Amino acid sequence: MIIVLFGVSNVGKTTTARNLAKLLGYQFVDVDESIRKRYEITESVFLRNYELVNRKLQQIKEKGIRISLDDFGTGFSSLSRLRDMNIDIVKIDKYFIDKIVDHGEDKLITADIISMAHKFGLQAVAEGVEERKQMDYLKKYHCDVVQGYYISKPLSQNDAILFLQGD
């Protein structure tokens, strides 16, 4: 999967959607593009001009690129705004994933974020999963995707192939 990170200054530019589609358009041959093409933003992107940014994200989505909101819950976004954002994926910040192990009632927030994402038709991704207890909790609450050292550290392409082959 290729994830492209852009800062706040790039989102409002009129050429961002076109250039991103062009960049990603000739990177793949015979893969499901909706899985491979993802534009990842952080909540701070919305601080400049919410309406403009949301329109630009819609243009990017129209190019067949999925929008992922990274570090959800640590910045600008609220659960009430979640349904209005032109996004496809909510990446739950590691801060909340750590609460699964460290705090009793605080871990319920993670389950609520997953549930709310699903109610709005969004995919929920947990970042920074490092322990079996976290993984079990996320499975129980039907988190769609997990990433973190519990699964694997970041790998080079060759190491990823070996990892997937079970070597």
CB 127, CB 149: distance < 8 Å: no
CATH, residue 13: 3.20.20.450
Q: 89 versus 2: which is more confidently predicted?
A: 89
pTM of structure = 0.74
Confidence of residue 26 (pLDDT cuts 50, 70, 90): very low
Cα dist. 137→61, 100, 147, 149, 152 in Å? 31, 7, 14, 16, 18
- Counted domains in the chain: 1
12 has pLDDT over 70: no
Kindly report, residue by residue over 71-117, the tens digit of the pLDDT.
888 776 666 778 888 999 999 999 999 999 877 777 888 999 999 99
Q: 67 versus 21: which is more confidently predicted?
A: 67
pLDDT average, residue stretch 114-141: 96
Domain that holds residue 85: 2-165
Q: 52 versus 5: which is more confidently predicted?
A: 52
